[in-house]
A and B are shown apart, each in its own frame.
Chain A
Amino acid sequence: MLSFLAFSVRRAAQGFWRNRVMSLAATVTMVLMLVLLSGLVLVLSGLEAGLQFVESKVEVQAFLNDGVAPERVARLQEQVAALPEVATVTHTSKEEALADWRAQQEAQGRPDLTGLTGTNPIPASLNVKLKDPRQYGQVVEILKAPKGVVAEVLETQRVVDALVAITGVLRTVGLGVMLMVALTVLFIVVNTIRMAVMARADEIEIMRLVGASDAFIRWPFILEGLLVGLLGSLVTLGILAVAAPAISQLGSTVLREIPVGFDQRLGEQLVLLVVGAGALLGGLGATISVRSYLIK
């Protein structure tokens, strides 16, 4: 068993090196596919997280202008709370909002830049929770009615709808592209291993004649395919590790205050996914290639 493993690993490495141009081509396309896969997973999970974040938040948020008299705000709050479709209305002061923002930034490991401005740039808000998230009724009109109180009304449901649509399209298109790229990678691996098999045609013939079992003939090539897959996933993980801060940054820039980025769980899942996909494609491609070389 040990000699079998040593033999197979040695031959796999040997085969990879002998056929290095093709092996590297396969590895590079593997990296391309895995980067694409990780990118898709990151964006989708970012959108997903954003979606959850937004849904868990209030459905309607009215940002208040600075310096509005507190009694006007209180009157507006009572007015909205009286509506039949509204569950609760809460008031978030500028200070609370700033504290929330800082906590959020810190949770994502980003520096707190709000201290630099001297003034508090975050607006106070009225947060309306609806009984049924889809029943707005007159909430928005009433919020906008008094002049000068409300700067902007954020109807979260619209954002949610948009996010759901974007996520759906991205998932479909992304999966389609992924499938095509994966198929290409599979073909390239099959071809690479087939060349490796052909380079060893004489050896395989001798192996069969002297009574080598199928495993001895097959496994070196399957390991060679796995080697391509694992090497590809290692390079991909390297790229991701280098690019992770930038991706986090980009995610938060695009999606504003929604907390997107690498949390540990996502990181672990991504490592598993990249390594698994690489190994699967490499191993599968090689298996397809050597199937015809077995005892009839």
Chain B
Amino acid sequence: MPSRGRLTDAPVASVPAVAEPYVTFSHLRASLRPRAGALEAVAPAPSALTPDRPADPALARPGADATIPDLRHAAIALHDVTKVYPNGKRALIEVDLVVPEGDFIFLVGPSGAGKSTLIKLLIRDELATTGTVLVAGRDLARLRRRHVPHLRREIGIIFQDFKLLPSKTVHENVGFALEVTGTPRREVGPAVERALALVGLSAQAEQRPNQLSGGEQQRTAIARAMVHGPRIIIADEPTGNLDPLISWEIIQLLLRINELGTTVLMATHNAEVVTALRKRVVALEEGRIVRDEVGGYHRQY
């Protein structure tokens, strides 16, 4: 496809000229961090928590050509991505974004700036109109339909409205993610217990969502997102429905998950949180990345 630029061919200069871009392609290799052993810290048997992750030799050694960074190592890489919806709305325009494995980034911007579209592209709910989207080493434009579920098992996704099933207990809600992906039953229980231990909800395992506080519900959702042992956590306004104190709890939890090696991308309006944490902030406005630097919310959206 001649219209679709290949990421690996892109010269460094094609990164949009924003003040002090947090990462360029040449910075990428240096910022790669090993994530092996990430979950062992909390999980007694990581092999069960990450049941079907294939051993990828490409992840173990650097690319053959030292001058061109191997973007398959990046958790997320978008190059020159434009998304035009069938109704003609241009939701994303020429977006370049590289998120190295193990990063924590905030995605900010007013409503309608393209945050949701970006997240939909990452989980391949939508396909980019032009440009390349790489997630967990996969070129999503080339990803076969039947492999989409495998991509999504590498991504844990968290929403503002939690999306828990009210008729199921906390344990069942978390186990559901494993159950519907064909995990053998005897492996589900231990994996769920580890995920609940990670978010500190072991005691509430048999309660139903309506018996939980908002923070506990969101932690259940995080446990569900983590139960597959994903490489990437995408959180879409995870604190949108929570009061400030509980929001901080959730942020702390996401930071801890990140420290354990999982890449976290968090879309948020919460200026206080973004400003307080010296993390990378990517700002979208009218479909374009207008800022990509460490710290600060700068504008009130």
Q: Given the complex, which residues of B lie within 8 Å of A202, measured CB to CB?
A: 163, 165
Q: Among the interface residues B123, B146, B150, B152, which one has the most CB atoms of the partner chain A within 10 A?
A: B152
Q: Given the complex, which residues of A lie within 8 Å of B184, measured CB to CB?
A: 3
Taking a contact as CB atoms under 8 Å apart, the answer to whether B152 and A4 are in contact is no
Residue of A nearest to B168 (CB): A203
Residue of B nearest to A213 (CB): B149
- Alpha-carbon gap, A213 to B153, bound state (A): 10
B36 within 8 A of A: no
Taking a contact as CB atoms under 8 Å apart, the answer to whether B185 and A210 are in contact is no
Given contacts A3-B185, A202-B165, A205-B163, whether A210 and B148 have CB atoms under 8 Å apart is no
Interface size in chain A (residues, C-beta < 8 A): 19
Fill in one digit per residue for A195-234: 1 if any B CB lies within 8 Å of its CB, else 0.
Answer: 0000000110111111111101100000000000000000
Q: Given the complex, which residues of A lie within 8 Å of B270, measured CB to CB?
A: none
Taking a contact as CB atoms under 8 Å apart, the answer to whether B181 and A211 are in contact is yes
- Alpha-carbon gap, A6 to B179, bound state (A): 10
A293 within 8 A of B: no
A17 within 8 A of B: no
Q: Given the complex, which residues of B lie within 8 Å of A217, measured CB to CB?
A: 180
Q: Among the interface residues A202, A211, A217, which one has the most CB atoms of the partner chain B within 10 A?
A: A211
Residue of A nearest to B173 (CB): A206
**Shortest CB distance A1–B (Å):** 8
Interface size in chain B (residues, C-beta < 8 A): 24
- Alpha-carbon gap, A274 to B149, bound state (A): 38
A242 within 8 A of B: no
Q: Given the complex, which residues of B lie within 8 Å of A3, measured CB to CB?
A: 179, 182-185
Q: Among the interface residues B148, B157, B163, B179, which one has the most CB atoms of the partner chain A within 10 A?
A: B179
A107 within 8 A of B: no
Taking a contact as CB atoms under 8 Å apart, the answer to whether B181 and A295 are in contact is no
Taking a contact as CB atoms under 8 Å apart, the answer to whether A209 and B152 are in contact is yes
Q: Given the complex, which residues of A lie within 8 Å of B298, measured CB to CB?
A: none
**Shortest CB distance A10–B (Å):** 10
Given contacts A3-B184, A7-B179, A295-B145, whether A210 and B165 have CB atoms under 8 Å apart is no
B269 within 8 A of A: no
Q: Given the complex, which residues of A lie within 8 Å of B177, measured CB to CB?
A: 206, 210-211
- Alpha-carbon gap, A290 to B144, bound state (A): 20
Given contacts A202-B163, A211-B153, whether A216 and B148 have CB atoms under 8 Å apart is no
A residues in contact (CB < 8 Å) with B: 3-4, 6-7, 202-203, 205-214, 216-217, 295
B residues in contact (CB < 8 Å) with A: 123, 145-146, 148-153, 155, 157, 163, 165, 176-177, 179-185, 224, 228
